[in-house]
Amino acid sequence: MPKNTITHNQNEENEKPKLKLELANKELVNQNEMNEARFRMVVSSATEGIILQYKSGEIAIWNPAAERIFGLTKAEVLGQTSTSRHWETYREDGTHLPAEEHPSMHTLASGEACHDVILKVVRDDNTYSWVSIDTNPVFLNDQSRQPDAVAITVQDITKQKETASELLVNQERYKKAQVIGHVGNWEYD
């Protein structure tokens, strides 16, 4: 009887480290799941479009704001690249921006971030958005010279562009009215 008791106690002692390891692994899995849920919550609730594009050009993350800005669902975009679909994108001067020159492709090729790139994006239904795009390289390996991915944020600035355009039109009207009315304006110091 004592011999079995010792064996039983030894088995319990041998199992304790295994149980501790299992509990630690479960805790890590739970923490990872919670972190993943938090990440998804932040990305999905952001008002800016958040996009992750791998070095292959494949789009891996496309949040609801990106859907709204570009007029394309996540299902339509995930797995696509900047060059695999026809993106109607224009510079501020009205010239067409080829997909190969998109800020994300520049960042993937050079490893350099792009900031405040203003583009006009025409949706499939011929409506458009003016956007300000920022891109930042993502390096998974510190010794890597080429980015493994690019993180892209897109801010819809359509209202700001329309307001600025209306302001210019109104300023021109004001100047014409001054000429027609033979009046001027001055500042008093």
- Mean pLDDT of each 10-residue bin along the chain, 189 residues long: 56 72 78 80 86 94 95 92 82 92 93 96 92 96 86 94 75 76 73
**116, amino acid identity:** D
Alpha carbon distance 14, 91 (integer Å): 68
DSSP designation for 96 = B
Alpha carbon distance 146, 138 (integer Å): 9
Ramachandran region of residue 151, left (φ > 0), alpha (ψ -120 to 50) or beta? beta
| Contacts (Cβ under 8 Å, ≥6 apart) of 27 | none
Q: What is the pLDDT of residue 83?
A: 73
Q: What is the pLDDT of residue 64?
A: 96
Long-range contacts of 120-127 (CB under 8 A, 24+ apart): 120/89, 120/90, 120/91, 120/92, 121/69, 121/70, 121/87, 121/88, 121/89, 122/88, 122/89, 122/90, 123/70, 123/71, 123/72, 124/71, 124/72, 125/71, 127/71
Q: What is the pLDDT of residue 100?
A: 85
Q: What is the pLDDT of residue 10?
A: 64
Q: What is the pLDDT of residue 37?
A: 82
CB 46 within 8 A of CB 65: yes
Q: What is the pLDDT of residue 8?
A: 58
Q: What is the pLDDT of residue 119?
A: 96
Alpha carbon distance 63, 33 (integer Å): 19
Q: What is the pLDDT of residue 7?
A: 57
